Amino acid sequence: MRWIREHSKATAVLAAFAALIITVMVSHQTFGESNIFGKAAGDIINIVQLPFSYAGGFLDDRLSSVFVSSDLAAENQQLKERIRELESELTEARLLENDLAALKRLSEELSYSGLYEEYRIVTADVIALDESSGFNIFTINKGSADGVSEDAVVIDGNGLIGRVMSVGDRWSKVISVIDETNKVGFQVFRNPEWLGVLHGDGNGGLTGYMLDETVNIREGDRLITSGIGGIYPQGITIGKVTRVEWNHDTPLKTVMVEPAAYFKNIRKVAVLL
């Protein structure tokens, strides 16, 4: 007791350390699930963060439009070429319209449902994202009050983003697919029998391996979720293969993948419920 009285500052620091260590242990035991205090704190933090997040996005739009003005001419040219390509594709698509109508009739007869038709989709804004921690975790402004639950799949217009790892009333923490801990089973779009597993590579990309090393996967192949593992439904676009190599150490055929979703400036996502 005397030592405590004489070293009050050191005692306070040690007590704080002990309290934090206990917090980590409790959090570890509950797999990071927030308790009632954590959820309440999360609610308050997210109310404060929301306007700043919107303001940051608004400023980024305005400033980036100033800095990229020199690239606009080149982009304009690319867009014109793209319009020409799309016009020719549209012509072909019209020719195939009759075939499509026939296929739709067939799918109705077979009671086939599309990729997202069996899910209810909730759109959400990304309100907080910290790239200094090393984890690719971000917060969205939809939670259990909107029907979001743990392990709900998160996508954007381009493809797979990740899954919900914990939920508050009006917020959810999402772990993105580019985090190393978040493993995804994939299949190659060109040949759905070619399967593999992907995870984050630490540089904003994905890396993984093929389950069968004899398959002829190559650069440019599109990868989609395989549905194996039970979290991610089959058919969501993951990305494009940028490199294939043989790993002598493992020995496995490894693939490097560029994600379809643009994680650097992620603002709006959709949650599949």
Partner 1 sequence: MKTRYVIFIFAAAFIAQSTVLRYVAVNGVSPNLVLCLVIVFAFLYDEPYGIALGAVFGVLLDLNFGMYVGVSGISFMCAAVAMGQLKKYLNHELALPAMVGGLMGSILNNTVYWGIYKIAGVPHSLAYILKMQPTSIVYNVVLVIALHLILRRGVIRHRKDLYYKGSFREARGLKL
Q: Is residue 189 close enough to count as binding partner 1 by CB under 8 A?
A: no
Q: Is residue 115 close enough to count as binding partner 1 by CB under 8 A?
A: no
CB of 42 to partner 1, least distance (A): 5
With CB under 8 A as the contact rule, the residue among 125, 204, 209, 228 that binds partner 1 is: 204
With CB under 8 A as the contact rule, the residue among 4, 13, 79, 145 that binds partner 1 is: 13
CB of 100 to partner 1, least distance (A): 40
Q: What backbone torsions phi and psi does residue 136 show, to the nearest 5 degrees?
A: -95, 70
Closest CA to 272 of 151, 137, 141: 151
Q: Is residue 59 close enough to count as binding partner 1 by CB under 8 A?
A: yes
Q: Is residue 131 close enough to count as binding partner 1 by CB under 8 A?
A: yes
Q: Is residue 185 close enough to count as binding partner 1 by CB under 8 A?
A: no
Ramachandran sector of residue 159 (left: φ over 0; alpha: ψ -120 to 50; beta: rest)? left
User: Is 175 in contact with 155 (CB distance < 8 Å)?
Assistant: no
Stretch that binds partner 1, among 27-35, 111-119, 235-243, 252-260 (CB under 8 A): 27-35
CA–CA separation, 137 vs 98, rounded Å? 45
Q: How do strand 206-210 and strand 184-188 relate by DSSP bridges?
A: unpaired
Q: Is residue 72 close enough to count as binding partner 1 by CB under 8 A?
A: no
| Strand partners for 253 | 246
With CB under 8 A as the contact rule, the residue among 4, 47, 48, 121 that binds partner 1 is: 48
CA distances from 132 to 145, 165, 265 (A): 30, 19, 15
User: Is 44 in contact with 51 (CB distance < 8 Å)?
Assistant: no
Closest CA to 235 of 111, 121, 122, 116: 116
With respect to partner 1, which residue has the nearer C-beta, 35 or 77?
35
Residues that bind partner 1 (CB under 8 A): 9, 12-13, 16-17, 20-21, 23-24, 27-28, 32, 34, 38, 41-42, 45, 48-49, 52-53, 55-56, 59-60, 127-135, 137-139, 165, 173, 180-181, 200-204, 263-265
